[in-house]
Chain A
Amino acid sequence: MPATTTSPARADRDDNPGRPRAGAPAAPARRRRRIPVPLVLLLPAAVVLIPLFGYPLYQLGLLSFLDFGQEQASGGVPARFVGLDNYRTLFGDRQFWDVLTQTVVFAGACVVGTLAVGAALAVLLTRVGKWPRLILMFAALGAWAAPAMTGATVWMFLFDTNLGLVNDVLGMDGHNWMYDKWPAFALVGAVVVWHSFPFVMITLYAGIQAIPGSVLEAARLDGASTWTTFRRVMLPMLRPILTIVVIQSVIWDFKVFTQVYVMTNGGGIAGQNLTLNVYAYQKAFAADDYSLGSAIGVVMTLILLAVTAVYIRALRRSGEAL
């Protein structure tokens, strides 16, 4: 996204050479010489993306500075500008900090889990024969294709307190997996990992396949052990793919909604399993406090933008093209 948003600005600037530009005293001649054809070509995409992302983001930001509930939305009560009140309420609420902390821990665990499972299975894929590979691929694609709602519901059937297969097999009838906070998070996390490991697996598998056999052969001839080959040869070559996969996972898992909402019934017993996204939903749409919900949304956006910024910096530092 950042790559595309730069384009309209640049294209815009070069299309309107007469527009005053504070802080950019480049020589006109130089500017004209550099016709940014690729950026012009990106313009159509920008025309679609900026209204689709920019406008909602603007509305989100605006709402977070208003006092805006259902009475303002449909009851004819005028919306009031309240400055930073929503943010003050939010940051003064101990529950917000609890939710933020557990969201970070939960998302972090999901990312680690997804990567571990995905990477292990990707390596496995390169080592097994055709049929096991096909079966594994098929199973993984099945998990990937399952809608989050369906997956979460089916897992809940399996782990049902009184009628679930898992309790039946383990002989723990009546055990409620969602009763304590962390077991509940662990179960939801397992479903999140189950849903998202195939992406990691297939991407890494493709990456491993793309490593030329001659490079690995050369390493072997030089006497490198399997582990050294992996660490010194494969890992550096996989780095760009790994970075993308990690960042994608961080963003996905930080925003995960469906599994948490469905499996914990909207936040768990006494709200113990709320994550930031579900918390925002509860505030905005259950409690009609659209403005406070927006404030949470803004905070989430900022956190994820920070993650993305780190990602881009990391890419640039490692000399990768954006």
Chain B
Amino acid sequence: MKIRRWTTVALSGAVLAATAACAPGTASKKNSADEQTGTVKVWLYDEANRAPKEKVVADVIAEFKAAHPKVDVQVSYIPTDAGPRAEKMKGAFNDPNSAPDVVEFGNTDLFGYAAAGGLADITADLASWTEGADLPQDLKDTTVVNGAQFGVPWWIGLRSLYYRTDVFTELGIKAPTSYAELVEAAKKVRAAKPDMLGIAVGGKYTYGGLPFVWAAGGDLAAQNNGAYKAAIDSPQSQAGVKAYTDLFAKDICPPEQCADLTGGKTVEAFAAGKAGMAILPNSSRSAVEAGAAKGKYAVVPLPGQTPGSIAPAFAGGNDLGVMKSSQHRTLAVDFLKVLAGKKYQLAMFDAMGNLPTLASARADVVAKDPFLKPFMDTLNAGTKFVPKDAAWAKIDAQAVVPTLFQKVVTGKADVSGASKEAADAMNAAFGGK
């Protein structure tokens, strides 16, 4: 009786399931539309210090509404952390009804978003945008997939070496010009001030560690006939990984404290006066100015291996795009053009310190702000980017590079073992698994 009862349960369950269910949930293929009235929904990043950004955006909305009186604009600010923001964006892809029209996103996210069918191909829409011609080709390339443009670079972020001028003067150290000098300076700082980190580095700080890999001649992956293959386990890359992870030492940045730090945490440490040096983007200036390190720091390009060389920086930054599911295609593109135009790129620099992408706008701000010089030197020395492939989103989300750093830093694996593992994980992602 018992067994028979269970069989019936299983059977009726199966019957019910088979009748009730179809394929797993795929986004309804709602076609995009081009309505000329209604509300344009915009998602922007919720930066740490948002008020000035909101003010600029309010001006953009005012200007946009003057040209489109019948249209309303609704701006939402979405979290910037990788996990929550990915959830938010995937939600928008899966449910077009709750998706925005215009979005801001990290430039490394573009390839994943494009493959997920989230972003609209706006090549044609931008053809007539005169200001767009001012966009340098290499930046534009970071938004192009198979010849189609999926976004407009809105601002760029470059990382350089911040250091404490007061501490360096007190200890008689000069700003480092090579990796060896960097290590030496970091050790001196920590020896003299045991409550400070020589340099704040983090096991989860991908873009703080990659310049060391690039400086050693290594790379994340190499492209061959359009297909990417991991190169993080090449001898050069391994040397770079070693150079970065060697900074996680008791006499520089103790693993116990630094293995789990993210880029944001290194900003906090430096701003709070707890680190002699840190690898921070130009946009961290306001955070540092708001902390104990205010007025007691200077910036130089992150040194490479040989004296006087500059380690290639990651060409970070954010793009603006239009969602594929948008019901207000033309309006969305129009809003994007205003927001990404020179006038508001300059306003955004004043408000948030976001470095403009338009060449002429950048020349303007660089000329009037000497703070940017080391960042421009870094930019001119050549920058690097992540693989322009949808697989990068997956590699990033799986924390392949942080895991590599953390395994080495905590002694769970040696450089060759950990980088081999990282390469396998990357190749699996490139292979579509």
Q: Which A residues have a C-beta under 8 Å from some C-beta of B?
A: 5-6, 8-10, 12-13, 23-24, 50-51, 54-55, 57-59, 62-63, 66, 68, 70-76, 79, 89, 161-162, 174-176, 178-179, 265-266, 269-272, 282, 285-290
Cβ B17 vs Cβ A55 within 8 A: yes
Given B9, B13, B23, B117, which contacts A74 in the complex, CB threshold below 8 Å? B117
A9 to B402, CA, bound (A): 51
- A-contact 0/1 string along B16-42, CB 8 Å cutoff: 110011011111010000000000000
Residue B93 is within 8 A (CB to CB) of chain A in the complex: yes
**What 6 A-B pairs are tightest by C-beta distance, nearest first?**
A75-B117, A74-B93, A270-B406, A58-B17, A74-B27, A9-B8
CA distance A63 to B94 in the complex (A): 16
Chain A residue with Cβ nearest B15: A12
* Cα-based distance from A12 to B15 in the complex (angstroms): 12
Given contacts A24-B4, A270-B406, whether A75 and B116 have CB atoms under 8 Å apart is yes
Does A73 contact B410, Cβ atoms closer than 8 Å?
Answer: no
- Decide yes or no whether B203 CB sits under 8 A from chain A: yes
Asked if B394 lies at the interface with its beta carbon under 8 angstroms from chain A, I say yes
Please list 5 pairs of residues, one from A and one from B, whose beta carbons are closer than 8 Å in the complex, sorted by A's number.
A57-B17, A66-B24, A71-B390, A73-B27, A269-B260
Q: Is the CB of A270 within 8 A of B412?
A: yes
Q: Which of B23, B29, B393, B407 contacts A270 (CB 8 A)?
A: B407
Given contacts A179-B256, A270-B403, contact A73 B13 (CB under 8 A): no
Decide: B8 and A10 in contact? CB cutoff 8 A.
Answer: yes
CB distance from A158 to the nearest CB of B (A): 17
Across-interface contacts of B417 in A (CB, < 8 A): none
Among candidates B5, B257, B260, residue contacting A265 with C-beta atoms closer than 8 Å: B260
> Is B112's CB within 8 Å of the partner chain A?
yes
User: How far apart sit A178 and B118, CA to CA, in the bound complex (Å)?
Assistant: 37
Residue of A nearest to B324 (CB): A74
Q: Are A63 and B256 in contact (CB under 8 A)?
A: no
The A interface is mostly helix, strand or loop, or mixed, namely helix
Q: Is the CB of A270 within 8 A of B17?
A: no
A47 CB, nearest partner CB in chain B, Å: 11
User: Cβ of A75: which chain B residues have Cβ within 8 Å of it?
Assistant: 93, 115-118
User: In the complex, A207→B11 CA distance in Å?
Assistant: 39
Do A50 and B203 have beta carbons less than 8 Å apart?
A: no
Distance from B244 Cβ to chain A, minimum over Cβ atoms (Å) = 15
Q: Does B338 contact A (CB under 8 A)?
A: no
| Given the contacts A6-B5, A50-B13, A70 and B116 also touching, CB distance less than 8 Å | yes
B86 at the interface (CB under 8 A from A): yes
Closest B residue, CB atoms, query A24? B4
Are A269 and B13 in contact (CB-based, < 8 A)? no
Give the chain B neighbours of A51 by CB distance below 8 A: 20
Residue among B20, B21, B83, B390 making CB contact with A266, cutoff 8 Å: B83
Q: B97 contacts the other chain (Cβ, under 8 Å)?
A: no
User: Provided the pairs A71-B116, A162-B257, A176-B260 are in contact, do residues A270 and B12 lie with their beta carbons within 8 angstroms?
Assistant: no
Residue of A nearest to B274 (CB): A162
Q: How far is the CA of A6 from the CA of B406 in the complex (A)?
A: 50
| B189-217 Cβ-contact flags toward A at 8 Å (1 or 0) | 00000000000000100000000000000
Tell whether, in the assembled complex, residue B117 and residue A76 are in contact, meaning their CB atoms are under 8 Å apart. yes
Q: Is residue B255 contacting chain A, with contact meaning CB distance below 8 A? A: yes
- B94 A74 Cβ-Cβ under 8 A: yes
Which residue of chain B lies nearest to A316 when distances are taken between CB atoms in the complex?
B2
Most buried by B among A75, A174, A265, A272: A75
Distance in Å from the Cβ of B86 to the closest Cβ of chain A? 7
Contact A269-B26, Cβ < 8 Å, known A24-B4, A50-B16: no
Residues of A within 8 Å of B23, CB to CB, are 62, 79
Known: A71-B116, A75-B116, A269-B410. A63 touches B257 (CB 8 A): no
User: B90's closest neighbor in chain A, by CB?
Assistant: A70
> Residues of B contacting A289 with CB < 8 Å?
394
Instruction: Evaluate contact between B398 and A287: CB separation under 8 angstroms.
Output: yes
Query: Could you tell me if A174 and B257 are in contact, using CB atoms closer than 8 angstroms?
Result: yes
- B21 contacts across to A, CB distance below 8 A: 55, 58-59, 62
> Using Cβ atoms and an 8 Å threshold, which residues of chain B touch A271?
399, 403
A9-B11, A23-B4 are known contacts; what are 11 more A-B pairs with Cβ within 8 Å?
Answer: A23-B7, A70-B116, A71-B117, A72-B26, A76-B117, A161-B256, A269-B410, A270-B407, A285-B90, A286-B86, A290-B24
Tell me if A71 and B115 are in contact (CB < 8 A).
yes
* Chain B residue, CB-CB nearest to A177: B256
Tell me the nearest residue of chain B to A289, going by C-beta: B394
Asked, given contacts A174-B254, A174-B256, A286-B86, whether A54 binds B13 with beta carbons under 8 Å apart, the answer is: yes
B381 on interface, CB distance cutoff 8 Å:
no
* CA A175 to CA B256, docked complex, whole Å: 7
Q: Are A74 and B17 within 8 A (Cβ)?
A: no
Complex-state Cα separation, A251 to B394, whole angstroms: 31
| The one of B17, B27, B87, B259 that contacts A269, using a Cβ cutoff of 8 Å | B259
Chain B residues with CB under 8 A of A175: 256
B70 beta carbon closer than 8 Å to chain A: no
How far, in angstroms, from A265 to B407 measured CA to CA in the complex?
A: 16
Indicate whether B397 reaches chain A with its CB closer than 8 angstroms: yes
Among the listed A9, A55, A174, A270, which residue makes an inter-chain contact with B9, where contact means beta carbons less than 8 Å apart? A9
Is B433 an interface residue, CB under 8 A from the partner?
A: yes
In the complex formed, the residue of A with least CB distance to B87 is A285
Which A residues touch B27, using CB under 8 A?
A: 73-74
Instruction: Give the distance to chain A from B46, nearest Cβ to Cβ, in Å.
Output: 19
Contact of A176 with B115 in the complex, beta carbons under 8 Å: no
A279–B118 Cα distance when bound, in Å, is 26
Binary contact readout B73-93 vs A (1 if CB under 8 angstroms, 0 otherwise): 000000000010011001001
Residues on B with beta carbons closer than 8 Å to the beta carbon of A13: 8
B97-117: CB near A (< 8 Å → 1, else 0) gives 000000000000000100111
| Residues from chain A with Cβ under 8 Å of B115 in the complex | 70-71, 75
Of A6, A62, A89, the contact of B24 (CB 8 Å cutoff): A62
Closest-by-CB residue of A relative to B194 is A174
Q: Which residues of B contact A179 (CB under 8 A)?
A: 255-256, 259-260, 410
